[in-house]
Amino acid sequence: MCHACVMESVQRQMLDRRRLLKTAAGFGLGGAALAAGIPTPARAQTAATGRVVDLTHTLFPDFPAFEEGPQFALEKKFDIAKDGYNLHVIRVSEHVGTHLDAPLHFSADGISVAEIPVERLVAPLAVLDLRARAAEDPDAQATPDDVKAWIAEHGELPAGACVALLSGWDSRVAEGTFKNLDAEGRMRFPGFHPETVAWLLEETEAGGIAVDTLSLDHGISPDFAAHRDWLGAGRWGLECVASLAELPASGATIVVGAPKFQGGTGGPTRVVALV
């Protein structure tokens, strides 16, 4: 074997090892965890139809958010007629519109949005359809039984999969009822039950969860338990996802274009699915 080929082989092995260690470190895992066989995400599924579905809401100043007042602003800095080009200054909350929650959002020492290994952001997608239940009960929650029913029909969740809750709530952004405040000013919308988060962590190798509502937890949650337990375990979450109804329950691949800035707890994200 030629010297150049040997060097190329060694460099490739070193790169693979470095990438593996970086992935483990990003989820708080050391050499012992690697030796124990901590799973890595399954290989992204090849698109069967070549169709790409945009799962991202267009962000605008009054997009509904937990905080009061606009959480997004676009200020014109330069104009093509005057300056020869267009440029805006953006002011935006990390958690508005279709966005990613990094582990740091609900943990003291979790990884930031910039530290999530990129291979974790391309994942097999499992869609739980709770539209009928959500239409009857705005406080509906995805339960362990919902995940078990999905598994019974479609097979085991692939390693690193993203489990998405389809409630049909995305249409409410345009209707102005996304937060769905009750008479007492409490938000009422579906989310993941904390028991489901615990079950996913204990029984599966899922790497992300997603909702088409404002929060991973249902609207009247008193303690953000789903956030705390899921993100605290080093996983990521997506909120305010759009167009999940256009996807099959199984077989799509989600691609999360997360922002990459130092120390971020999350950020507005372009999310697409390959079907």
- Do 157 and 196 touch, CB atoms closer than 8 A? no
Name the nearest CA neighbour of 273 among 10, 51, 24, 12.
Answer: 51
CB 180 within 8 A of CB 203: no
DSSP annotation string for 103-152: GGGG-SSPPPGGGS-GGGGEEEEEEEE-HHHHHH-TT-EE-HHHHHHHHH
Identified catalytic residue from 99, 105, 193, 218? 105
Contact status, residue 200 vs residue 209, Cβ threshold 8 Å? yes
Could you tell me if 239 and 214 are in contact, meaning their C-beta atoms sit under 8 angstroms apart? yes
Say how far apart CA 18 and CA 187 lie, in whole Å: 45
Ramachandran quadrant class, 191 (left: phi over 0; alpha: psi -120 to 50; beta: rest):
beta
- Token readout for 178 is 């996304």
| Catalytic residue list contains 3 | no
Distance (Å, whole) CA 273 – CA 161:
13
For residue 165, give the nearest of 189, 188, 182 by alpha carbon. Answer: 189
Residue 112 region by backbone torsions, left for phi larger than 0, else alpha for psi between -120 and 50, else beta: beta
Give the catalytic positions in this structure.
105
